[in-house]
Amino acid sequence: MSALFEPITLRSLTIPNRIWLSPMCMYSAAAEGPETGVATDFHLAHLGSRAAGGAGLVMVEATAVRPDGRISAWDLGLWNDRQQDALARIAALIGQHGAVPAIQLAHAGRKASTGKAGSGGGPVAVEDGGWPVVGASPIPLQDGYPTPLELTEAQIADVVEDFAAAARRALAAGFQVVEVHGAHGYLIHQFLSPLTNHRTDGYGGDFAGRTRLAREITAAVRAVWPADLPVLFRVSATDWIADEPSWTVEESVLLAKELHALGVDLLDVSSGGLVPHATIVAEPGYQVPFAARIRREAGLPVNAVGMITEPAQAEQVLTDGDADAVMLGRELLRDPYWPLHAAKALGVQRNWPAQYGFAVGSRG
């Protein structure tokens, strides 16, 4: 048996294999009116095809817990019934294809109110349809971006409750896994890193202060999520900044231990995204060592992401003990049936959807 195709059990939930779809923003939700933030038929087809293609877990992209937490006007949201109902269709379809439906909950913080990625991006001013952005401290992303409003402690409490409320809706919509997005320069990451957190209250300063929001949100989500279903947390293991105080892999290990104690079942290990001047040397598997270190030193399951493209490469990550699962992003965009092709390459028998059997035949 290939390690990639061994089931993995988190709490009472068994995920059929270790190839998971990474959450990737599609910027395809309704952008205005009563349908704002509502998933469309594109999402249904996009996510359903990855489930049909054999991924063991299919995670819906970063889904904002409140309107001003969207990266762009075209992001998914989960703060009302219309959004919940549309996502319920998607969760059901994912499950019908034998995959586990999962969803990532997020708040973009100072990286909110931007244009579509791939269509110029950049900040969108309030007068042009954007909205005021918030953050840990009043530090803009870069020149030309708005200075975020520093969240008050009362506003932070509201954000914590928004994550819990969105988790309740995710459960009602039929999702079996929920992930808290604490990576890639979004709001929680902005609190974690001393590059973006200059606060002097209980949410800033030392490690305990800077990780407080991550811990409070995780605890709030865990409290409303069933005890027999898993909670995941995505972290940027490092800011990739060497010459000034920043978030490091050593702190990621410490945070992982604390999140594990709060009920996080697996850490989704990525990196970067906080500041545009980071120097990242991207190469095949470049983030796997971070996952391996956190798994080894923090003692909880992890998944690895980042330029994992070949079946043998993905298999090696697991057999080496560097991770418990792999998340594929761009590779599953290019080939929704990558898991089925990987099965053949690794000598594992996996059936294609019955509707495609006449085309695949013995070449499956």
DSSP 231-260: EEEEEES-----SS----HHHHHHHHHHHH
Fill in the amino acid letter for 347.
Answer: G
CB atoms within 10 A of CB 110: 26
Phi, psi of 149 (to 5 degrees): -80, 130
Residues of the chain where predicted confidence (pLDDT) is lower than 70? 361-364
Full-model pTM: 0.97
Please give the pLDDT value at position 274.
98
Please give the pLDDT value at position 309.
97
Phi, psi of 158 (to 5 degrees): -65, -40
Which pair of structure tokens corresponds to residue 78?
Answer: 């989960």
User: Would you call 75 helix, strand, or coil by DSSP?
Assistant: coil
Q: Which domains does the chain have, with CATH numbers?
A: 3-351 (3.20.20.70)
- Residues annotated as catalytic (active site), given as ranges: 186
Which pair of structure tokens corresponds to residue 180?
Answer: 């808290």
C-alpha span between 221 and 81 (Å, rounded): 19
Pairing relationship of beta strands 266-270 and 19-21 according to DSSP bridges? unpaired
C-alpha span between 142 and 135 (Å, rounded): 14
Please give the pLDDT value at position 356.
86
- Cβ neighbors of 121 (< 8 A, separation 6 or more) are 114, 115
